[in-house]
Amino acid sequence: MNPAPSDFEDLRVEDVSRHFGRRRAVSHVTFHAPRGSIVGLLGPNGAGKSTILSMLATLLRPSTGRILYGQCDSVVHGAALRGSIGVLGHDLFLYPELTARENLEFFAGLYALKQPGASADAALERAGLAHRAADPVSSFSRGMRQRVALERALIHDPRLLLLDEPFTGLDESSAARLLARLDSLRKQGTIVVLATHDLDLAEGLFDRAIFLRDGRMASAADRPASLRAMYREVMTHAHAAAAQGTEG
């Protein structure tokens, strides 16, 4: 009996590449993320982080290689898998004219949750925004909107959460709250894949760090002792190797 797509216990990216015409956005990327782990995608602009996240969200198909959610292939089971994936990108996908509760209740309804109102209320409690439930999102600070958007991505209790630069525009208090929420997700067994430029805030967060340059894996490490130092070293070596290759 084949497992249901929502039952996956891990995520495997196996020799994945993605080409847009002649341009190689991602080349031969491989990593594994078990339940209860946070994987970081690190690299400069154009390194392929957002493209990888789009493939993990089943919004893009790999040109070569495969992505497995447990035993389920993203190409074969993509539509069925989406109900087990939460995504928070640069666009928060919130309706500013609606209240915080109305936004979350709407998305709970999209996922056909049995009690969308109760789900929205619980999400606002987790975000620490129950007292602002009836206020329009347009009146919220960037950090507050980010907190609502994170709960929007988590309203259906996904197995996999994908985050693209979630620390952007957050003050120290909001960033600390986000880090605490991510830690709670790890403890409850959620798989998190997070792309970020903010190495200081991400220090100590990742169970595995994937360093990317020009769409390729430059290195990978489990719980690196100093994220910024390793990033600097990896990118320096990758740049030198690329320069040497060009000269050759």
Give me the pLDDT at residue 1, please.
Answer: 46
Report yes or no on 124 lying in a domain.
Answer: yes
The total number of structural domains in the chain stands at 1
Q: Cβ contacts of residue 184 below 8 Å, gap of 6+? A: none
pLDDT in tens, the chain (248 residues): 455 666 799 999 999 999 999 899 999 999 999 999 999 999 999 999 999 999 999 999 999 999 999 999 999 998 899 999 999 998 999 999 999 999 999 999 999 999 999 999 999 999 999 999 999 999 999 999 999 999 999 999 999 999 999 998 888 999 999 999 999 999 999 999 999 999 999 999 999 999 999 999 999 999 988 999 999 999 998 877 776 665 55
Tokens found for residue 112 = 């056909």
Report yes or no on 30 lying in a domain.
Answer: yes
Domain that holds residue 67: 9-247
pTM above 0.85, yes or no: yes
Report yes or no on 3 lying in a domain.
Answer: no
Report yes or no on 2 lying in a domain.
Answer: no
CATH number at residue 83: 3.40.50.300
Give me the pLDDT at residue 7, please.
Answer: 76
Report yes or no on 217 lying in a domain.
Answer: yes
Report yes or no on 1 lying in a domain.
Answer: no
